Chain A
Amino acid sequence: GAVVSQHPSRVICKSGTSVKIECRSLDFQATTMFWYRQFPKKSLMLMATSNEGSKATYEQGVEKDKFLINHASLTLSTLTVTSAHPEDSSFYICSARDASRGNIGNQPQHFGDGTRLSIL
């Protein structure tokens, strides 16, 4: 079946560091990818919708200059947390939509394994 690879799975770094997270669709083309943030024992909060070849669409309250998204190809989207601070520590999850599936009811989204980001 379809697989989404998210890398790295865990990052620990110092405050002020920028961190890049990659999300790859391995056996399908993804014109649309989504980035979520999940706090402990909480639901997934959609941060932004990543569109191949165009600017990402950010949800209200998400700083686009803080969370840079690049979707340069049909199989790769990246999320860069710039100048990360301890409050950015969280679990980040990406998902990808199979572009060959025209109806969301057929196959909504495939999720990556997530990235645990810890800022010291």
Chain B
Amino acid sequence: AQTVTQSQPEMSVQEAETVTLSCTYDTSENNYYLFWYKQPPSRQMILVIRQEAYKQQNATENRFSVNFQKAAKSFSLKISDSPLGDTAMYFCAFNAGAGSYQLTFGKGTKLSVIP
């Protein structure tokens, strides 16, 4: 079974600054997928960024980028130039691939952007 660990229950960042959220996972799979989801106070889960394990290049999506360390099973999210609207819960999620569409979520990190 896969596990996803987010060791930071809460984080804060000054508006327009940069913050990094950590995520580690445990799996015996080799080809899998990793995701970061954002859940703002409005509650809808929004996909922020995704990474295929077979790709060495770190994924980037505008202000969001990841540091994917496959050997260390680490998948951190870097948010740059944070606006107030980035205040939300951020969940790291894992999918084992191989025809499985289930997601395993971490416990989340509550990010507060401070004016």
A residues apposed to B, CB below 8 Å: 32, 34, 41-44, 46, 49, 91, 93, 95, 97, 104-105, 108-109, 111-114
Contact = CB atoms under 8 A, between A and B. Distances in A.
A42 B95 CA distance: 19
B84 to A, nearest CB: 21
Contact of A43 (B43, B47, B105): B105
Nearest to A4: B44
Contact of B47 (A46, A108, A112): A108
Interface stretch (B11-19, B63-71, B96-104): B96-104
Nearest to A111: B45
Nearest to A109: B103
Contacts of A114: 43-44
Given A34-B102, A109-B101, A95 B45 contact: yes
Given A49-B102, A105-B52, A113-B44, 9 more contacts: A43-B106, A44-B45, A44-B105, A93-B43, A93-B45, A108-B47, A109-B101, A112-B44, A114-B43
B35 A111 contact: no
B78 interface: no
A109 to B, nearest CB: 6
Contacts of B37: 111
15 contacts: A32-B101, A42-B108, A43-B107, A43-B108, A46-B104, A91-B43, A95-B45, A104-B33, A104-B95, A104-B101, A108-B95, A109-B103, A111-B37, A113-B44, A114-B43
Contacts of B43: 91, 93, 113-114
Contacts of A93: 43, 45
Given A114-B43, A114-B44, A104 B97 contact: yes
